[in-house]
Amino acid sequence: MGYRVGIVGATGAVGQELLRVLERRRFPVAELRLFASARSAGRRLGFAGEELVVEPLSAAALRGLELVLSSAGAEVARAVAPAAAAAGALVVDNSSAFRMEPAVPLVVPEINPEAARAHRGILANPNCTTIIALMAVAPLHREAALERMVVASYQAASGAGARALAELQAQLAAAVAGEPLPPPVVLPHPLAHNVIPQVDVFLEDGYTREEHKIARETRKILGLPELRVSATCVRVPVPRAHSVALHLEFREPLLPERARAILAGAPGVELVDEPQAGRYPMPRSASGCDLVQVGRIRADASHPRGLVLWAVGDQLLKGAALNAVQIAELVLALEPEPA
């Protein structure tokens, strides 16, 4: 009993996390096939005590699969996902290729599970920073009706890929040794002992593409097409886990005490909010954790119906691999398991 599953982009950071999440959650896998680019084909990756050989990716290679978890970039997704869906597979895509397509659900299972019912074979995983922010925001929106969100993100080096993380580690080693920093290759500036107020490319309005993703995806997930959102995304010298500072304005008053009670009971959220005791969310505690940690909850001193809070989540888990597997679990639970 189980599903014939394929992972596209299996050798990448999210792809390898998908393997661990499937195994840890005991997802019903009857057969698992791994795909990557031609240069990565032939590598062996472990799953459930076995070693699986990575195959070169093609649309034809995905035929016969019932579930495809894709994390190989938008261009690759556009090339293979529609064909896989047309052949009968459920495709959960982690790239930006389909997120804003009207016919493709953009899903965070704890927030808008009902959206998944409208899928036509492809479902999109939101941007990692959007997921982490909305895990904190959505429960509060249901209580008090969100009207405006201002978010500043502090995004880990690994969010830009394994090469960006290696670049940071090399720069930190050089700084400790008192040597000149190696020049940046992946990121626009050295990240060691620095913060870079740029994630993705700048657009004509002065925002970056990452900042636009947060705004547009937030509106789609929450079903609020006119929601006012402004984001500033910053790369910080942290290995793993993204942090977000959220300034929220609501239609109805929402006291911090009530917000804490709501978030303490919200699925997928861990309330870590004892600042006087030094307990608040941090990347070191959130790394490797399935839950999004939320704390520093306080009234906005500048707005009568505003709240300020701080959230941290592992961008490779809830921000990517875990959310993708949860989407698959959600949709497949609506259908009979194959014999």
* Secondary structure percentages of the chain, helix, strand, coil, to 5: 35, 25, 40
What per-residue confidence (pLDDT) applies to 336? 57
pLDDT reading at 335 higher than 80: no
CA dihedral 54, 73, 5, 133 (to 10 degrees): 130
Average pLDDT over residues 84-105: 97
- pLDDT tens digits, one per residue of 4-62: 999 999 999 999 999 999 999 999 999 999 999 999 999 999 999 999 999 999 999 99
- The confidence band for 212, taking pLDDT boundaries of 50, 70 and 90, is very high
What per-residue confidence (pLDDT) applies to 338? 53
What per-residue confidence (pLDDT) applies to 271? 98
Average pLDDT over residues 138-153: 98
What per-residue confidence (pLDDT) applies to 337? 55
What per-residue confidence (pLDDT) applies to 257? 98
- The confidence band for 334, taking pLDDT boundaries of 50, 70 and 90, is confident
pLDDT reading at 92 higher than 60: yes
The average confidence (pLDDT) of the chain is 97
Tell me which residues are annotated as active site.
128, 242
What per-residue confidence (pLDDT) applies to 1? 80
pLDDT reading at 282 higher than 70: yes
Sequence ranges of the domains in the chain = 3-126+320-332, 130-314
* Ramachandran region, residue 261 (left: φ > 0; alpha: ψ -120 to 50; beta: rest): alpha
Give me the architecture of the 130-314 domain, per CATH: 2-Layer Sandwich (3.30)
pLDDT reading at 177 higher than 60: yes
pLDDT reading at 251 higher than 70: yes
Q: Quick one: 205 exposed, middle or buried, by C-beta within 10 A (0-12, 13-18, 19+)? A: exposed
**Residue that is written with structure tokens 């596209």 in the block:** 8
Tell me the β-bridge partners of 56: 36
Count of all residues that appear for the chain in the document: 339
Tell me the fold of 3-126+320-332: Rossmann fold (3.40.50)
Average pLDDT over residues 165-188: 97
- pLDDT tens digits, one per residue of 291-329: 999 999 999 999 999 999 999 999 999 999 999 999 999
- Beta-carbon contacts of 128 under 8 Å, excluding residues fewer than 6 positions away, are 159, 242, 313, 315, 316, 319, 320
